[in-house]
Structure 1
Amino acid sequence: MTTGRAVRTVLGDVSPTELGVCDAHDHLFLSSPQLPGQELRDASAARAELLAFREAGGGSVMQWTPYGMGRRAADLPLLSRDAGVHVVAATGLHQAVHYTPELLDRLRGRLAGLFVSELTEGLATSGVRAGFIKVAGGFHALDAHARWTMTAAAEAHHATGAPIAVHLELGTGALDVLDLLCGELRVAPDRVILGHLNRFPDLVVHRQAAEAGAYLAFDGPSRANHATDWRMPDAVRALADAGFGDRLLLGGDTTTAGARSVNGGPGLPYLLRRVRPRLELALGEGLVEQMLTENPGRAYAVEWA
């Protein structure tokens, strides 16, 4: 049993130094009414993606798929073991549009307890414990659903220490999220991971979020947001030049079957096959290595009870 700060993988707690090269935001399984016909449900394809990622030098994948979106938690330990890649699962809740009203009604009054249970006891009957909490904001705003889920996430964080990863809709609303989580709800900024910053390349907002102390995840490429993906190296370089290289994370965020490398898309390996060398040209190998190893180790590590 690992003691001290550890990252909670689907195979147990490991030292942050054991993660290796980390994809800090991706999906092996994902289902939603918003993705008809493009769900990530194929375990064989997930295994192939993990193997391709490992072949490219990868060591760990953080799966940001939250409660009720087809996580297939029982499959994750076998896939992780077979591929030789650490996998960290999420609890949490996405935007309301991904769920039925009936499911959301059943969660009223017990959401924080569900998050805590999945972090400490396991996801459903799988026994696989989550390693972080995933929630979501809206487009340039936080609606009542986002406030409800973030309040529950903060409560679960205070009970467990688990980090909170936030889907920013089209990369927007970062400062509103920090105002709520770190201001009103008293979550330490370094326990918050903001996702999709590459989708809204506002360098001023990026710097303000970094100055607040949050981790900033640049996670692409994305077909829906390809118009901004190419600006990601400039945004990352601006933050690094300002002294925030220790706040930066990189991920792939594969959300559809067609985006998998086994189906002709970029998939998990693209982060290391193309994104990494492109960033090394802009930032140097040392800083990119830090973004892929040391930074995610600190961002996802917890002093688990």
Structure 2
Amino acid sequence: MSAVRTVLGDVDPGELGVCDAHDHVFFTSPRLPGEELNSVGAARAELSAFRAHGGGAVVQWTPYGLGRRAADLPPLSRETGVRLVAATGLHQDVHYAEDVLAALRGRAAEVFVAELTEGIGTSGVRAGLIKVAGGFHGLDAHARWVMSAAAEAHHATGAPVAVHLELGTGAPDVLELLCGEFGVPPHRVILGHLNRLPDPVAHRQAAASGCYLAFDGPSRAHHATDWRMPDAVRDLVEAGHGDQVLLGGDTTTAAARSVDGGPGMPHLLRRVVPRLALAVGEEAVRRVLVDNPARAFAADWR
């Protein structure tokens, strides 16, 4: 049966509830010195605030080697009542020391599969999706290597594949590689950061493939395109793609957390959702927050 693989075990997709489809409970990167998301207390407070505004689940897109703190996720989920989904996979190479990547050469798919089926490190926490990343309007050798391993892991496990699109670009190349060359079914692919490229033609072309489109980023930083997100979602809904849209916050820095004075995860439900409802209506918003993530992150696990 189809299930969402959370840090507390597999659950029926209908149990996710209102879902932040792309965020970070923990995240550290050499590209963001001093802004690490590594405080358990801050994570607990942020998840509790999200829960207080009606949130039911958060999908953490933090992949291998970037401070996932997998062992801390189950107690946080129990304490806050928020279901959490962890990720395996790899980000762009600029987030890693070369020795970290060198240690994965020839065995990345094996590591991804192990983290999806056995657990992350010694934590026993199984990942529920594979995170990969493209480049700006293209794919470099690192991205192609990681996506090849991700596709292999998908075929072995059934796990969904979530893609960081750099500034929202490169979706055609990603889909040609993942779905065309590597045979990942489009409905198993989630394209992230579409809000950063407010091109309705590009959005509709990506949606026509059958993949999911995530609009994620209002709590990460201010983007000049944030105000265009409701119109972009309305365009997709009117084009018949409302069942493919996801919404997330993508909190990647400590300063962006609501408990540290930023918008954080609650902003998604407090401010973004009411604004989106004005554009597409309450029923479409319910699909985006509840129905669509329940399908996007469920898998017939192997």
TM-score (norm 2): 0.99
1:229 matches 2:226: yes
2:155 pairs with 153, 158, 167, which one? 158
Alignment-derived partner of residue 290 in structure 2: 293
1:60 matches 2:48: no
Alignment-derived partner of residue 135 in structure 2: 138
User: How many residues are matched?
Assistant: 302
Alignment-derived partner of residue 250 in structure 2: 253
**Is 2:165–2:191's contact at 8 Å kept on the other side of the alignment?**
yes
Alignment-derived partner of residue 19 in structure 2: 22
**Is 1:5–1:302's contact at 8 Å kept on the other side of the alignment?**
yes
1:95 matches 2:110: no
AA matched with 2:72? D
Hey, which bits of structure 1, 4+ residues long, moved more than 3 A? 222-225
2: CA distance, partners of 1:176 / 1:207: 15
Where structure 2 has 5 or more consecutive residues not aligned to the other structure, the ranges are none
Alignment-derived partner of residue 188 in structure 1: 185
> In structure 2, the residue corresponding to 1:218 is in which secondary structure?
strand
1:215 matches 2:202: no
> In structure 2, the residue corresponding to 1:207 is in which secondary structure?
helix
**Is 1:135–1:166's contact at 8 Å kept on the other side of the alignment?**
yes
> Post-superposition shift, 1:195?
0.2
Where structure 1 has 5 or more consecutive residues not aligned to the other structure, the ranges are none
1:176 matches 2:173: yes
1:283 pairs with 263, 268, 280, which one? 280
**Is 1:199–1:225's contact at 8 Å kept on the other side of the alignment?**
no
1:77 matches 2:74: yes
> Post-superposition shift, 1:226?
1.4
1: CA distance, partners of 2:254 / 2:242: 32
> Post-superposition shift, 1:304?
1.5
**Is 2:219–2:262's contact at 8 Å kept on the other side of the alignment?**
no
> In structure 2, the residue corresponding to 1:226 is in which secondary structure?
coil
Q: Deviations over 1:221-257 (max 9, x none)?
A: 1565511111101110000000000000000000000
> Post-superposition shift, 1:111?
0.1
1: CA distance, partners of 2:140 / 2:219: 25
1: CA distance, partners of 2:5 / 2:221: 31
1:31 matches 2:28: yes
> In structure 1, the residue corresponding to 2:42 is in which secondary structure?
helix
1:121 pairs with 108, 118, 123, which one? 118
What is the Cα-based RMSD across aligned positions, in Å? Answer: 0.7
Alignment-derived partner of residue 104 in structure 1: 101
Sequence identity percentage: 74
AA matched with 1:247? Q
2: CA distance, partners of 1:106 / 1:220: 31
**Is 1:119–1:129's contact at 8 Å kept on the other side of the alignment?**
yes
AA matched with 2:11? V
1: CA distance, partners of 2:19 / 2:7: 15
1: CA distance, partners of 2:223 / 2:252: 14
